[in-house]
């Protein structure tokens, strides 16, 4: 049969066969495109805006009028977004890798705690989501704060540029607004105190605009803009330094309440707080809001730029923070690092293709879900990557994805302390840190805990165990007690406690799929 066909073939038959072949290829290409579009893998641009220490429980989004309109109202607002560790470096490491701290092994903000350490660089950093975006032909851009110990000599200096980034403008060390050093594609760039040239929030924006002007339109782009705001030292732009002059930190909820039946660190603050502490925290609260006005301007300018480029409708924009914050809750002056809602809840708003406007979504989302969601959008096969989180594209764009919602999750933290006493607070002894003002300490070696947080529409509970000599346990029913004023450990049915304990044990050792599928 085949020989007969060949012997009878003429020029017309060859053209016909080639035409059929071209038609088959075209059909296959069309089907592939349809599958890629149905899978949400169309080459959309992605922008991740990450603030530093921005709470959501205590009014942290109040200054963000433009951001709420341009991202939240134009897309989805997640009202139950959480960090899996309420501290900068472990949280940011979770964002980059999609993994819980017990898997990326960044425990705190110190080099010894693996923050930007050589061990981090050789392991988790080499598998962070920008590496996968590069494989998907994304042009990648980073500007701002990376990890707290980044740029230190012991961490490879500013010469170290993490894999996956085409353009790299990273702050050496912790958040600053002036007088800092950047790594610009591995070369040191020092900045001074000129507002026009050096104010870091504005510099991040200006560099991102330059990247957009220079990028190749043939390929999609990913930008991560990591602002110093509203982290200390809370240096606002000159035009905003008089804003919110009459604003005070909120006085409701757990503000200036004694930490009764809580871990010893919550029992050590003076309550009620002295006037000097109240003045200090109110000033911090106002200045934090002032710094955020420049971030709000950044979002507006960026959205206008994308719109002018005709790229806005094909760009996902994520807005979130690495952790929450407190100002006077349970008489703790200012910081994060605690297991309570004000420290572990974060803002999260997303707009982009397939996301209907004005959505308010209740299902819990974690910062370890950002990496798989971004990779999902870019077309990465998530079954091929090592992540503990899950894509939440299905929640905000159900037309593009099917997905499931987790009923509970893990929050874990490893405390930091100093081996010797703080000279300013000699009565407190060793093992403590962040002791300010009035010698109230915000952290300690044994402020080390793990919590299972259950939030499934019917149950809203938190169960936490401390790694200390007391083996202290805190349990809260947030449906009845949203401010976590009462530790109900002694009132809860022992069988419920046993279930929570078993879930916590499993979560603390989970890896990958086992973090998402625990009964």
Residue 236 lies in a domain: yes
Residue 216 lies in a domain: yes
Q: How many domains does the chain have?
A: 1
Residue 31 lies in a domain: no
Residue 123 lies in a domain: yes
CA distance 292 to 294: 5
CATH of the domain at 78: 3.40.720.10
The three state secondary structure string of 58-79 is CCCCCCCHHHHHHHHCCCEEEC
Answer yes or no: 88 catalytic: yes
- CB contact at 8 A, 511 and 103: yes
The predicted structure's pLDDT at residue 35: 30
Residue 443 lies in a domain: no
The predicted structure's pLDDT at residue 210: 98
Q: 285 is in which domain, residue-wise?
A: 45-406
- Please state the length of the chain: 519
CA distance 368 to 391: 9
Residue 484 lies in a domain: no
Residue 277 lies in a domain: yes
Q: What is the pTM of this model?
A: 0.92
Identify the helix (H) or strand (E) that includes residue 451.
strand 449-455
* Burial class for 157, CB neighbours closer than 10 Å (0-12, 13-18, 19+): middle
Radius of gyration for the alpha carbons in the chain, expressed in angstroms and rounded: 25
The predicted structure's pLDDT at residue 42: 53
If the chain, 519 residues long, is cut into consecutive pieces of 10 residues, what is the mean pLDDT of each piece? Answer: 33 42 38 37 88 98 98 98 98 98 97 96 98 98 98 97 98 97 98 98 98 96 98 98 98 95 94 96 98 98 98 98 98 97 98 97 96 97 97 93 88 95 86 90 96 92 94 97 98 96 97 90
Residue 488 lies in a domain: no
Among residues 33, 88, 451, 510, which one is catalytic? 88
């Amino acid at each position: 049969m085949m020989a007969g066909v060949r012997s009878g073939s003429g020029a017309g038959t060859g053209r016909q066969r080639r035409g059929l072949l071209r038609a088959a290829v075209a059909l296959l290409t069309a089907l592939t495109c349809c599958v890629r579009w149905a899978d949400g893998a169309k080459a959309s641009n992605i922008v991740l805006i990450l603030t530093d220490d921005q709470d959501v429980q205590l009014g942290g989004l109040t200054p963000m009028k433009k951001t709420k309109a341009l991202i939240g109202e134009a897309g989805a607002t997640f009202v139950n977004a959480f960090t899996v560790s309420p501290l900068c470096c472990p949280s940011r490491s979770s964002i980059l890798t999609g993994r819980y701290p017990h898997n990326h092994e960044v425990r705190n903000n110190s080099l010894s705690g693996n923050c930007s350490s050589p061990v981090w660089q050789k392991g988790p950093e080499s598998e962070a989501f920008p590496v996968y975006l590069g494989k998907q032909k994304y042009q990648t851009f980073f500007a701002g704060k990376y990890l707290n110990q980044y740029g230190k000599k012991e961490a490879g200096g500013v010469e170290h540029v993490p894999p996956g980034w085409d353009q790299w403008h990273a702050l050496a060390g912790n958040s600053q607004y002036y007088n800092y050093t950047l790594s610009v594609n591995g070369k040191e760039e020092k900045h001074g105190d000129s507002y026009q040239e050096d104010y870091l929030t504005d510099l991040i924006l200006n560099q991102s605009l330059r990247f957009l002007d220079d990028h190749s339109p043939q390929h999609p782009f990913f930008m991560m803009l990591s602002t110093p705001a509203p982290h200390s030292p809370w240096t606002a732009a000159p035009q905003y330094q008089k804003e919110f002059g009459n604003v005070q930190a909120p006085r409701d909820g757990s503000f200036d309440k004694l930490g009764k039946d809580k871990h010893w660190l919550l029992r050590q603050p003076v309550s009620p707080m002295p006037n000097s502490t109240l003045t200090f925290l109110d000033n911090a609260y106002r200045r934090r809001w002032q710094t955020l006005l420049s971030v709000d301007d950044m979002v507006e300018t960026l959205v206008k730029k994308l719109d002018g480029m005709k790229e806005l409708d094909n760009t996902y924009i994520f807005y979130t923070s690495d952790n929450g914050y407190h100002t006077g809750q349970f008489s703790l002056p200012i910081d994060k690092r605690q297991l309570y809602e004000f420290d572990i809840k974060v803002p999260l708003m997303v707009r982009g293709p397939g996301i209907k406007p004005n959505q308010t979504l209740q299902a819990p989302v974690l910062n370890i879900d950002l990496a798989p969601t971004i990779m999902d959008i870019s077309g990465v096969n998530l079954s091929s990557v090592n992540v503990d989180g899950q894509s939440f594209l299905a929640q905000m764009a159900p037309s593009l994805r099917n997905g499931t919602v987790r009923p509970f999750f893990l929050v874990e933290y490893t405390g930091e302390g100093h081996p010797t006493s703080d000279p300013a607070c000699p009565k407190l002894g060793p093992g403590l840190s962040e002791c300010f003002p009035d010698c109230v300490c915000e952290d300690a070696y044994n402020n080390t805990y793990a919590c299972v947080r259950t939030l499934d529409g019917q149950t809203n509970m938190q169960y936490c165990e401390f790694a200390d000599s007391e083996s202290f346990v805190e349990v809260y029913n947030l449906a009845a007690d949203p401010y976590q004023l009462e530790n109900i450990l002694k009132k809860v049915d022992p069988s419920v406690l046993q279930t929570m304990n078993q879930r916590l044990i499993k979560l603390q050792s989970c890896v990958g799929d086992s973090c998402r599928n625990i009964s």
